[in-house]
């Protein structure tokens, strides 16, 4: 077989591998922080109806500016946001890529605080943006002083703060975000993919008067819409306009727009399971602590647990028992997504047997 050395691949991409959380068909999949509750039938029917209405017009390009969807996203978020302050793409990963294309690049730079979302370095690399990760403080927490100091010292073009943070679950307080914003002149991106699970106030409350602040969200997690690929961002209208320069034309298909509008029309129903999921998260924390393991503080729909002698062995054994979880590469830890009550029961039971 031909390999990368025989084709003119960008030198900086040689030796790199694609993003690849395992996709394995198992009864209990708690590995990529999806909402494991399915789409309610009434929502499914609404989606189908709206898709059906679009199909006949698929010979035409979709609405490039999708103002209707941006308006509904603004309504959903509240805070008096205008449609011009919203933007959407195929997952918040694409939002982040567009932000890096607009504000990053070889003459800029980006930083974050690790361990954090594994796609940040990938997105930086794809957009040719130099990227550095500073270590988090004890227990993966972040304080305003520490964050501001690292930002001032490195003076990057982009700062990424993930709150609650994946894979640790740690939320970031508004005080930290305010301090980060003040510490430099670049773009501050707060990744709130798990905001609906968090008790912390959203950084959306800080948007007014902060034109360099961008808050990215997704329908992939709390909304149970990962397969539809809908991410979005709220920011000052000028920052949104910058994303419009780098986006590919017609990037959001009319089917995606219709499906997202249908889901948003049922946002309350779709978010009904959030309380239940948070209950299962807290149950995981409680039960693994009883098993002598250590759970890190989580304000999300997953828990990072420490205390495994051999994380990979536990991963493999759980997989044999039909439970897929995530080894994120932090020594002696594993990450568990909170699922339904019965999925959580299965996970905890298998863990208990294994550690006995």
**62: DSSP letter:** P
Burial of 117 (0-12, 13-18, 19+ CB in 10 A): buried
Q: Is 85 in the site for ligand PLP (CB under 6 A)?
A: no
Minimum separation from the CB atom of position 274 to ligand PLP (A):
15
CA angle 115, 121, 125 (to 5 degrees): 170
* Closer residue to ligand PLP, CB minimum distance, 119 or 287: 119
Site residues (CB under 6 A) for ligand PLP, limited to 264-323: none
Minimum separation from the CB atom of position 33 to ligand PLP (A):
6
Minimum separation from the CB atom of position 228 to ligand PLP (A):
9
Q: Is 115 in the site for ligand PLP (CB under 6 A)?
A: no
**197: DSSP letter:** G
* Closer residue to ligand PLP, CB minimum distance, 191 or 299: 191
* Closer residue to ligand PLP, CB minimum distance, 33 or 280: 33
**139: DSSP letter:** G
CA angle 100, 102, 105 (to 5 degrees): 60
Question: Total residues at the site for ligand PLP (CB under 6 A)?
Answer: 14
What is the full DSSP assignment across 113-128? EES--THHHHHHHHTT
Q: Is 92 in the site for ligand PLP (CB under 6 A)?
A: yes
Site residues (CB under 6 A) for ligand PLP, limited to 167-196: 191, 193
Q: Is 114 in the site for ligand PLP (CB under 6 A)?
A: no
* Closer residue to ligand PLP, CB minimum distance, 115 or 350: 115
* Closer residue to ligand PLP, CB minimum distance, 74 or 222: 222
Comparing CA positions, the residue from 52, 40, 78, 111 lying closest to residue 217 is: 78
Q: Which of 115, 156, 231, 339 binds ligand PLP (CB under 6 A)?
A: 231
What is the full DSSP assignment across 153-193? HH--SEEEEESSPTTT-----HHHHHHHHHT-SSEEEEE-T
Alpha-carbon torsion, ordered 108, 111, 195, 237, to 10 deg? -20
Interface stretch with ligand PLP, choices 153-161, 218-226, 255-263, 338-346 (CB under 6 A): 218-226
Strand partners, 29: 324
* Closer residue to ligand PLP, CB minimum distance, 34 or 149: 34
CB-based closest residue to ligand PLP = 91
Q: Which residues bind ligand PLP (CB under 6 A)?
A: 33, 91-93, 117, 162, 166, 191, 193, 218, 220-221, 226, 231
């Amino acid at each position: 077989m031909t390999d990368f050395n025989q084709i003119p691949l960008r030198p900086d991409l040689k030796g790199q591998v694609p993003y690849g959380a395992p996709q394995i068909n198992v009864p209990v999949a708690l590995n990529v922080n999806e909402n494991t509750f399915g789409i309610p039938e009434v929502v499914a029917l609404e989606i189908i109806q709206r898709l059906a209405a679009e199909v006949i017009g698929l010979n035409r390009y979709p609405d490039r500016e999708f103002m209707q969807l941006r308006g509904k996203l603004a309504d959903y978020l509240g805070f008096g946001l205008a449609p011009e302050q919203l933007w959407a793409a195929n997952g918040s990963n694409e939002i982040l890529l567009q932000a890096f294309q607009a504000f990053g690049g070889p003459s800029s730079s980006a930083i974050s605080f690790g361990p954090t979302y594994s796609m940040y370095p990938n997105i930086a690399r794809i957009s040719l943006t130099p990227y550095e990760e500073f270590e988090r403080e004890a227990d993966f927490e972040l304080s305003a002083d520490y964050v501001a100091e690292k930002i001032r010292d490195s003076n990057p073009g982009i700062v990424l703060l993930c709150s609650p943070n994946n894979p640790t679950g740690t939320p970031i307080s508004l005080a930290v975000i305010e301090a980060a914003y003040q510490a430099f002149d670049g773009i501050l991106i707060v990744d709130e993919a798990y905001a609906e699970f968090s008790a912390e106030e959203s950084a959306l409350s800080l948007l007014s008067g902060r034109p360099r602040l961008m808050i990215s969200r997704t329908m992939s997690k709390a909304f149970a819409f990962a397969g539809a690929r809908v991410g979005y961002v709220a920011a000052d209208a000028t920052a949104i306009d910058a994303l419009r320069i780098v986006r590919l034309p017609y990037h959001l298909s009319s089917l995606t727009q219709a499906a997202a509008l249908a889901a948003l029309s049922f946002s309350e129903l779709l978010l009904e399971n959030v309380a239940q999921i948070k209950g299962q998260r807290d149950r995981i924390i409680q039960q693994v602590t009883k098993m002598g393991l250590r759970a890190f503080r989580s304000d999300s729909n997953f828990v990072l647990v420490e205390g495994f002698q051999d994380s990979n062995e536990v991963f493999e054994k759980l997989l044999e028992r039909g439970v897929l979880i995530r080894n994120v590469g932090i020594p002696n830890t594993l990450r568990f997504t909170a699922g339904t009550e019965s999925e959580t029961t299965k996970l905890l039971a298998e863990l208990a047997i294994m550690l006995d």
